[in-house]
Amino acid sequence: MDNMLKQFKNRLLIIFFAIGGFLGTTQASFLGENFNILQLQPTIENILKLKDATIETQLPFGLMKEALKKVCSPSSIYKGKLDLKMIVPLRYNGFLKNRSMFSLQYDYQDLLRLFLAIPSDDADQYCSRKYLMLSLLKRTHSYFHLSKDKPIGENIYSTLTPAQQLVNITHHDEQLNTPELEDFGELTENSVQTILGNLENKGILTDQDLKNLDNKIEVFYVPSCEISKGSFHILEDSLSKDTRFKEIKLYISTCNPLPNAVQLFSYIEHVLVHELGHYIYFFKDPKAKLFTQICWKEGQSTCKLQDFHSLYAETNKEEDYAESFAYWYQYQSKTTGDSDALEHGSAASERISLKEQHFSHLFQ
């Protein structure tokens, strides 16, 4: 990353710090004044000197998107994503594919001019158009810097219906530097929001839980071919030993070939639901100790291999809980209430059945 881009990021982070206490609202405090999006966005654009930018300028597109998400209403961002879904397949399957490098430079400057000239008479419309145009700028910029002979490939985002934004998610998307990977990032965001929505619809997560998770989920894109994984973090008071939720981190592999939409959703669903299993264990299940008594005593396992949903579940009681919750959630629709109908773990294991019953009773 060159010095100019570092300066841009540092300037934008100053604004993030200023609005940090008001995440998810339409108001932000900046240097002692109250700013809404119609005031804040031009400030960002001036700091980044967008009027002087060219397609060669390395702009922090990811941070600029995060700024919009933090101060715009979720519905306006959702509208921008819907509009993007309609435009992206057309641009990638036709328009961009056949553009010369010179034409792409012209297109980029035209998009930038339109981006800066979006009218500000309506905040939600302003936000949705800014999000849309910023996405197109980023895609055009990425395409320009690809090799001319590099094929675009299938656009995995073109068949995706954007999910309603329930929480703000932080994406560390520096690795997403091609149109295909940008689509992959959009698909990841959509998958996480969809999974959270499904959990809410089933009564597993409440409005308060979603507030607790807001701005507490981070996604890291890892270029290695390791399987996608996650981590759950809590803070413990050194005196009272009380715990509070800190964050969930998801590490998503971008190894080629990229998974299709169904595969990626399945990966993310298990990882995210597993980490949310830890959240439920610590903060939502008053009878969590009863669960641990099924297979654990004084920190030692009392069960056989067939009594666990996975090898990882044998690690300790907390991982057993999280893995059991993840498998129960993903496969509960395939059961009929009879343990013999379970399509995971060991259907013949009485202790597997007890674990299933624990979650069924908890969320009945």
DSSP string, 294-353: TTEETTEE-S-GGGSSSSGGGS-HHHHHHHHHHHHHHHGGG--SSGGG--SS-TT-HHHH
Encoded tokens for 252: 């998503």
Nearest Cα neighbor of 211 from 19, 25, 20 is 25
* Cα 141 from Cα 78, distance rounded (Å): 23
pLDDT at 135 (0 to 100): 85
What is the CA angle 182-106-129, rounded to 5?
50
pLDDT at 321 (0 to 100): 97
Domains assigned to the chain: 1-152 (no CATH), 167-282 (3.30.2010), 285-362 (no CATH)
**H/E run at residue 223:** none
Three-state SS for 72? coil
Encoded tokens for 85: 């879904």
- Residue 60 main-chain phi, psi, to 5 deg: -80, 70
pLDDT at 157 (0 to 100): 47
Calculate mean pLDDT across residues 50-56: 85
**H/E run at residue 218:** strand 217-222
Encoded tokens for 302: 């009392």
* Cα 50 from Cα 43, distance rounded (Å): 11
Calculate mean pLDDT across residues 77-100: 64
Query: What does pLDDT average to over the chain?
Result: 78
* Position 53 confidence tier, pLDDT thresholds 50, 70, 90: confident
pLDDT at 32 (0 to 100): 38
DSSP line for 108-177: HHHHHHHHHT---SSHHHHHHHHHHHHHHHHHHHHHHTS-TT------TTTTPPPPP--S-EEEE-TT--
* Position 286 confidence tier, pLDDT thresholds 50, 70, 90: very high
Q: What is the pLDDT of residues 219-259, one digit of tens each?
A: 999 988 777 789 999 998 888 888 899 999 999 988 888 88
* pLDDT more than 70, % of the chain: 76
HSE-CB of 87 using CA atoms within 13 angstroms: 16
The C-alpha R_g of the chain, in whole angstroms, comes to 23
The residue whose two tokens read 């298990």 is 270
pLDDT at 346 (0 to 100): 42
Beta carbons of 358 and 285 less than 8 angstroms apart: no
For helices 123-144 and 37-47, angle between their N-to-C axes, nearest 10 degrees: 30
Q: Which of 252-261, 285-294, 351-360 has the lowest mean pLDDT?
A: 252-261
Calculate mean pLDDT across residues 289-312: 91
